[in-house]
Amino acid sequence: MGRIVRSADFERVLGTPPAHRTAHFAVHYAPGTVPAELSTSVTTTSEQPVDELHFDTRWFGVVVPKRHARRSVTRSLLKRQMRSVAERHALDLKPGWWVLRLKAPFDPKTFVSAASEPLRQRVHQELDTLFGRLGARSRSRSS
């Protein structure tokens, strides 16, 4: 699974309506298989022309705004957990560009520490539900 790093790529994917939402997360999808940084003017290490290469892969990015997670340690831990769950479910998703976004904060009174086990379990449970629904939708559409 490739990683989205360019702001233009994030903007393009986030410009689409969410493919699915939960209480704290939203996932956006944009079809497309070739990364934006590749073009016919860029020299590739492959012997094949760019037009003949197969980029049947998933590109993935995460967004955790400061307004929903004030501390950098919280944002970093959430991003790590989001990427971990996404990698577990990557093969269930159709190829293209995916951005997972934190859309609402977790209650700091309930989850005092960013590294708390209850927060980790809640994040994983909610993301497993989100990706499970996306995978089910992808499988039902391809049938």
Residue (of 129, 47, 118) closest to 92 by Cα position:
129
pLDDT of residue 105: 94
Read off the pTM: 0.79
According to the CATH classification, is domain 2-34+53-142 in 3.30.230.10? yes
Question: Which range, of 37-41, 82-86, 92-96, averages the lowest pLDDT?
Answer: 37-41
Residue 143 pLDDT grade (very low, low, confident, very high; cuts 50, 70, 90):
very low
Residue of higher predicted confidence among 47 and 98? 98
For residue 40, pLDDT beyond 60: no
Quote the percentage of the chain above a pLDDT of 90.
58
